[in-house]
Structure 1
Amino acid sequence: MRIRSTLTVLAVLLAGLVAGTGTGTAATTSRAAATGASYCGITWGSGEKAAGTLSSHPLTEVRTGRHECYDRVVFEFAGPVSGYTVAYGETWTEGEGLALSPYTAGGALLRVSLQAPAYDAAHAATVPWRVGEHAATVLRYQTLRDVVFGGSFEGYSTFAVGVRARLPFRVFVLAGPGTHSRIVLDVAHQWQQ
């Protein structure tokens, strides 16, 4: 009798494990529903984010920052800029179309397309990097692995942002300082608590 009840318990456990396998989505969804707690209240998601329009105000600086719940990349422009598209996936250099993934680190790659040039009206570069060079320091960051310049062509500037894994992110625009503007990319450290 004892052997039979032990076998029944094992069969029920095995059935539960089999039901939770496959793509992993069911198991992940169940854990999320069971905990019900998002990481730091973050509800951003990892789908493509796009907004704004093309601007002629050039990019002047790229910097990064570490925060308690996310890592940040800030793109600063010499005037009002609002246009961007950010999504996970391969990133190509502007003009040539060469893949940037060989130059980046991390488990996932964010393709950042800014609708503003990295050169002024006289076509002189406004940023000090060449295509494929690292544009910001991310040493000891929890999520960011690198920020690589992909060039600027016909008013668009591209960056490949290497991150630890495919994680939630948000993008927004800030005015200032002064007449400048900033496009801000935040990438969460994790999905849930």
Structure 2
Amino acid sequence: MKRLVVIPLVAVLLGGGVASAAPAAPAAPAAAGSVTCPTGWGSLPKSATSTNSQPLTNVRAGAHSCFDRLVLDVPGTSAAHPVGYHVQYVDTLYQDGSGRPIAVRGGAVLEIYADAPSYSPATGTPTYPGRAGQPPPGVDLTGYRTFVEAKFASSFEGRTQLGLGVRARLPFQVFQLDDRLVIDVAHSWTATP
């Protein structure tokens, strides 16, 4: 009888030990409403200066749970050697140099200037094939929640100008990573997606 009592107890202890040594199951993904989005970016103009003038090589976009992102690839730049920029909401996008208005769809338009020409300053050779009044090559905003339309405006006197049509005047941030300038526009003014 003692033996019968001991065997089930040993089996329970061993079973518990095996279960606790087993790897934990992956956590279930967070529910959509449980994501906390950054707040406090605001919608006022943002800018930074720099003496660094590296050429723009690419423009691309990405969709995230809290914001849509536009990235300007500028190799040779970093937080220590940033790209100068000026980003602000405008009523109308006017092409730098000519003053010609460029239509950009959306409830609001962000004008983006980056101190990164779309050509080599040394040779004048194009480094990015943007054309005035056209969407930036390779940027397809179909299905984006906040971005509506992007337009290449100009590359004039060492600066590239883009227009970014968004759903409404929403908070945005601008920051520098290695080899790129990043513009994030929030999906809403609240802290949930």
Q: TM-score range by the shorter chain?
A: 0.7 to 0.9
**Alpha-carbon offset, residue 53 of structure 1:** 1.3
1:32 matched to which residue of 2?
A: none
Show CA shifts across 1:31-59 (max 9, x none).
xxxxxxxx723210000000131432100
**Alpha-carbon offset, residue 94 of structure 1:** 2.4
Count of residues in Structure 1 that have an aligned counterpart in Structure 2: 148
Matched, 1:164 2:143: no
Matched, 1:56 2:53: yes
2:99 matched to which residue of 1?
A: 97
Out of 183, 188, 193, the position equivalent to 1:190 is 188
| TM-score between the two structures when normalised by the length of structure 2 | 0.73
Misfit runs of 4+, over 6 Å: none
| TM-score between the two structures when normalised by the length of structure 1 | 0.73
1:106 matched to which residue of 2?
A: 106
Percent of pairs with identical residues: 42
Show CA shifts across 1:82-115 (max 9, x none).
2100000032212211112x2x111000010111
Q: Greater helix percent: which structure?
A: 1
**Alpha-carbon offset, residue 128 of structure 1:** 1.6
Show CA shifts across 1:6-43 (max 9, x none).
xxxxxxxxxxxxxxxxxxxxxxxxxxxxxxxxx72321
The 1:143/1:182 distance shift into structure 2, 3 A limit, reads same
Consecutive unaligned residues of structure 1, counting only runs of 5 or more, are 1-38, 176-180
Distance in 2 (CA, whole Å) between partners of 1:174 and 1:77 is: 10
Task: Answer whether contact 1:55 1:155 (CA < 8 A) is retained.
Answer: no
The 5-angstrom pairing of residues 1-193 of structure 1 reads: 40-80=37-77, 81-89=82-90, 90-100=92-102, 102=103, 104-120=104-120, 121-135=122-136, 136-175=139-178, 181-192=179-190, 193=192
